[in-house]
Amino acid sequence: MSGRLAILAGSGVLPTLVAQAHPQAMFCGFQHLSYDRPAHAIELFSLERLGALFDSLHAAGVTRVVLAGAMQRPAFDPELFDVFTRTIIPDLSKAMRQGDDFLLRFVIGLFENQGFVVVGVDQLIPEITAEPGLILGEMNRDYTDEVQKADHVLKSLSAVDVGQGVVVEAGQLLAIETLQGTDFMLNTVAKTAAALRNPERGIFVKRPKAGQDLRADMPAIGVDTLSHVAAAGLAGIVITPGKVLLLEREKLAQRCSELTIFLHARENTQ
């Protein structure tokens, strides 16, 4: 696919990984976030001035954009709105009251209506997702029963656009990922009373929602996630092959070994 690429960067390591793979890309940051990349490499924009962002992308010859990294729902300052942003605020406000996938589809539509092609991170770095059967770390038993329970719950949650992950232990649902995110969920599991836990450690299952547009919010597993999984007393993580980003795979493999947890890529059972 030809044309200059722009990286619309959220927080975390993912935007930097995309930039390393595509060094000629325009790196677009947002003023309410902080970034690890040198300041001179970042074009900073305000979310209240989307019209200015689109104008800059067109002027730079950008034809493709990728949304990479975590992006919290912003608190807009109406006094800063440019003309374009002011015209879309009613629809944007309505979208922000929906689930994440609904909101991200709306954002993708904004860029497509401006003539940009929105691409997924996996299209730019194909090796960033897991192949079927991949196992990092060591699994000490078969977790099919737990996976089936988790997949049944995730299938039900997809209908209401909630969460991409659940924790199951000894047949019991311990936690559901909601707006607070993965780390919050795993920290909640870590604080669960011992009397409610089982010696047979549970698992964290992370998958995309059914029908989710993976160009903007493909689930991701990073090194910090592994630390939270271990701190929560879980045995490992199950993900969907080809549909979950593995951030810095070599580091993930090393940490799985150090923390004695596993990461297994297997298809959805539902």
206-227 pLDDT tens trace: 999 888 889 988 999 999 999 9
Domain encompassing residue 249:
129-265
Instruction: Verify that 104 and 188 share a domain, yes or no.
Output: no
- In b/e form, how buried is each residue of 74-113, taking b as 16+ CB within 10 angstroms? eebeeeebbebbeebeeebeebeeebbbebbbbbbebbee
Give residue 78's pLDDT.
87
Mean pLDDT computed over 229-240: 98
Who has greater pLDDT, 1 or 256? 256
Last residue of a domain, one of 124, 141, 174: 124
Give residue 139's pLDDT.
94
Q: Is residue 201 part of a domain?
A: yes
Beta strands in the chain (DSSP E): 4-9, 26-30, 43-45, 62-68, 117-119, 135-136, 165-169, 172-176, 203-206, 220-221, 236-239, 245-246, 262-265
Q: Is residue 270 part of a domain?
A: no
Over 90: is that where the pLDDT of 265 sits? yes
Instruction: Verify that 120 and 155 share a domain, yes or no.
Output: no
- 35: domain CATH number is 3.40.50.20
The whole-angstrom separation of Cα 227 and Cα 237 is 12
Who has greater pLDDT, 7 or 75? 7
Place of tokens 């493709």: 64
Q: How many CB atoms lie within 10 A of CB 49?
A: 18
DSSP state of 11: B
Give residue 39's pLDDT.
57
Instruction: Verify that 152 and 104 share a domain, yes or no.
Output: no
Instruction: Verify that 137 and 242 share a domain, yes or no.
Output: yes
How many distinct structural domains can be found in the chain? Answer: 2
Over 90: is that where the pLDDT of 123 sits? yes
Instruction: Verify that 57 and 110 share a domain, yes or no.
Output: yes
What percent of the chain shows pLDDT beyond 90? 71
Contact call for residues 129 and 243 (beta carbons, < 8 A):
yes
Who has greater pLDDT, 37 or 122? 122
Give residue 159's pLDDT.
82
CA distances from 212 to 96, 122, 229 (A): 16, 15, 24
Contact call for residues 192 and 169 (beta carbons, < 8 A):
no
Give residue 128's pLDDT.
96
Instruction: Verify that 133 and 260 share a domain, yes or no.
Output: yes
Instruction: Verify that 252 and 133 share a domain, yes or no.
Output: yes
**pLDDT tens-place string over residues 7-56:** 999 888 999 999 999 999 999 988 777 776 655 567 888 888 999 999 99
Give residue 37's pLDDT.
64
Instruction: Verify that 118 and 143 share a domain, yes or no.
Output: no
The whole-angstrom separation of Cα 230 and Cα 217 is 24
Give residue 38's pLDDT.
59
Mean pLDDT computed over 163-189: 93
The whole-angstrom separation of Cα 245 and Cα 126 is 10
